[in-house]
Chains A and B, each alone.
Chain A
Amino acid sequence: MAEAGRRLLRNWRVVLGGALVLAVLLAALLAPVLAPYDPLDQDLSAQLAPPDWHFGADAHALGTDSLGRDVLSRLIWGSRIAVTVAVVAGVLTALLGTALGLLAGFFGGRADALISRLVDIWSSFPPVLLAIILVALLGTGLRSVIVAIVVIDWTRFCRVVRAETLKQRRMDYIDAAVAAGLGPRAILWREVLPNILPLALVLLTLEAGIAVVVEAILSFVGLSISSDAPSWGGMIAEGRGVVHEAPWLLSCAMLVLLATVLGFNLLGDGLKAELDPVLR
C-alpha cells in the first residue's frame, strides 16, 4: 500500500491535480477561517475597489464587486458549492451510470437493448439545454442542479462501463468462473467489478470537473442558488457586466474555476495511468 502511494506521488499529474483539488477542498472546509470578510457583507463606500495588497483591516486582496463585497471571500465561500456539486453529483452519477452499465454489459439481451437505447436517446439531447429545462422544471436551487447533472450525465458512465464489461465478459477467467460453478452475482462482484473500478474512479474525477462547470453554467444563467449567495458561476455572470470597470472580478472567478477543473482532469489522467494493474 505504501509502495502504491509512493508510485502515485511520482506521477506529476497526480501530484499537481491532487494539489489543486486538495486546495479547493481545504478552502471549502475552512471557509469561515480563511475568508477575511463575510461574503455577504456589503461595503457601499468601496464599490468595485481594485485589488490591493497592503495589510490592514480594510484591505481587499482581490478587490470588491459592485456591491462592495470582498471578492476573495466570495471565491473561498463559493468553493463550498463547487465542492458539494463535484462530490455529490459526481458520486451519484457514477453509481447510477456504473450500475446500469454493468447490468447492460453483463447480462446483455433485453436489459442491454433497453439501457442502450435509453442512452442513445439521452445523448441526442443537447446537455446544457436539457439541464436548463430540468432546473426550470424542478425549480432553482442546489438540489435541482445536482439532480439535473445526475440525470444528464449518467450516460457517460453507462457507455464506458458497458463497453468495458462486455470486454471483461469475453475473458477466459469469466468462463473459468462459470465453469467453476460461480453464480452470476459472485462473478459480477468478484471478477468483473474489480476490473471496472479503476475506470470508474477515473471517470468520477473527470465527472467532478464537469459537474463544477455545469453548476457554474447554471449559476451564470441564474438557475442555481440565489444570486446573493457566493458561487463562481454567479460571480462570472456579475463580472461580465462590469468587465471594463473591474476586470479582476471576471478573471479571478474564471481562473479559480479553470484551476479546479484542470485539477480534477489532471488527477483523473494521472490515476488512469497508475491504476491499471497491467500498464503500471
Chain B
Amino acid sequence: MLQIAQLSAAARGGVGVLRAVSLSVAAGEVHGLVGTSGAGKSMIGRAVLGILPDAVRITAGRIRFDGRDLLGLSPSARRQAGRDLALIPQDPLSALNPSRRIAAQMTDVLRHRLGLSAAAAQARALEMLHEVRIREPDNVLRRYPHELSGGMRQRVLIATAFACRPKLIVADEPTTALDVTVQKQILRLIRDLQRSHATAVLFVTHDLGVVAKICGSVSVLRGGEIVEQAPVADIINHPAHAYTRALFAATPRYDRPPP
C-alpha cells in the first residue's frame, strides 16, 4: 500500500530532518512511528500527505502509494492521489476552522472527495458521527468548533477522516492533546474503525503504551533515522537497539517507584 524508500529531507540551510528512511505499510495494517520530539516522526506523515512545512524540502528517496510515485506527480495529480489519504491531526482545536460550523466543514470535504450532493454529504456526515459514537450528532453538526469539547472535536475529525473511505490515514499524535480517560476512548475508536473499514494507518506517537495497544509493526526513530523496525510484539519483548530500550526505560511505570 505505502512504500517509503530511502527518503531524506532537509530544512533550509541543509539541516537534515530525515535520513534515508525506509518503511512500508500493508493494506489494513497499523504501523507506528515512535521517537522523541524532533525525531522526524511527524515529518514522515507530512511528507506522505504532501504538507511539509515550506522550509523543509525532500532531497532524496521515493514515496509509493497505491502504485503511484507521490513525489513525481503534478500538483493536480497529487491532489487526485490525496483523495485516498486522510489526516487525523494532533490538535483537534486548530484543525477545525473556528468560523465555520461542523456541518459545513465535514460536507465540504465529502462533496469534494466523494462527489456527493449537499444532501448526501449531510447524510454521510451524520452517519459517520453516529459511527464515532458522538452524542446528539444532529446538534453537533450545527455547532462551531469552540462549542465542543476536545474529545468531541477529535471524534469529529476522526469521523471526517474515515468518512472519505481513504486507503491510508496518517494519525499524527491523535491522543496527545486529550486527557487520559478520553485518550483511551479515542484510541479504541480509531482501532475499531480501522478494523471495520480495513484502513491502513500510519500512527505517529511518542507513547509506547499506545503503540502496544494499536500498532502491528513499529519504526523507532532517532534524529531522523530509523534505528529499529519490527513487529510490535518483538519490540516490546526484545528491543534490539539500545535507544529503544532507553525509550522503554523512560516510560513512566505506576507499579514501581521511579529509579
Q: Is the Cβ of A180 less than 8 Å from the Cβ of B82?
A: yes
CB <8 Å contact, A172 and B91: yes
- Which residues of chain B are within 8 angstroms of A191 by Cβ–Cβ distance? 97
Cβ 8 A contact of A278, one of B80, B90, B98: B98
Please report the C-alpha to C-alpha distance between residue A177 and residue B100 in the assembled complex, in whole angstroms.
14
Alpha-carbon separation in the docked complex, A175 to B112 (Å): 16
Q: Is the CB of B146 within 8 A of A179?
A: no
Interface contact B112-A182, CB-CB below 8 Å: yes
- A171, CB-defined interface residue at 8 Å: yes
* B94–A179 CB distance below 8 A: no
B contact residues, range:
20 to 34
**Cβ of A277 and Cβ of B79 under 8 Å apart?**
no
- Asked if B210 lies at the interface with its beta carbon under 8 angstroms from chain A, I say no
Interface residues on A, range: 20 to 34
In the complex the two chains form, what is the Cα distance from A278 to B164 in whole Å?
Answer: 28
Are the CB atoms of B98 and A277 closer together than 8 Å? yes
Choose from B80, B82, B89, B144 the contact partner of A277 (Cβ within 8 Å): B144
SS of A interface (majority): helix
B144 pairs with A183, CB closer than 8 A: no
Q: How far is the CB of A231 from chain B (nearest CB, A)?
A: 39
Does A195 count as interface, using CB distance less than 8 angstroms? yes
Residues in B neighbouring A5, C-beta threshold 8 A: none
Which of B82, B96, B97, B170 makes the CB contact (< 8 A) with A181? B82
Complex contacts, B233 vs chain A, CB 8 Å: none
Supposing A172-B89, A194-B100 touch, asked if A181 and B112 sit within 8 A by C-beta, the answer is yes
A50 in the interface, Cβ–Cβ < 8 Å?
A: no
A181-B49 in contact (CB<8A):
no
CB pair A173–B96 under 8 Å, yes or no, is yes
Which chain B positions have C-beta within 8 A of A1?
A: none
Query: With A172-B89, A186-B112 known to touch, is A179 a contact of B97 (CB < 8 Å)?
Result: no
| Contacts from A to B (Cβ < 8 Å) | 108, 171-173, 175-183, 186, 190-191, 194-195, 197-198, 277-278
CB-based closest 3 A-B pairs: A172-B95, A181-B82, A181-B79
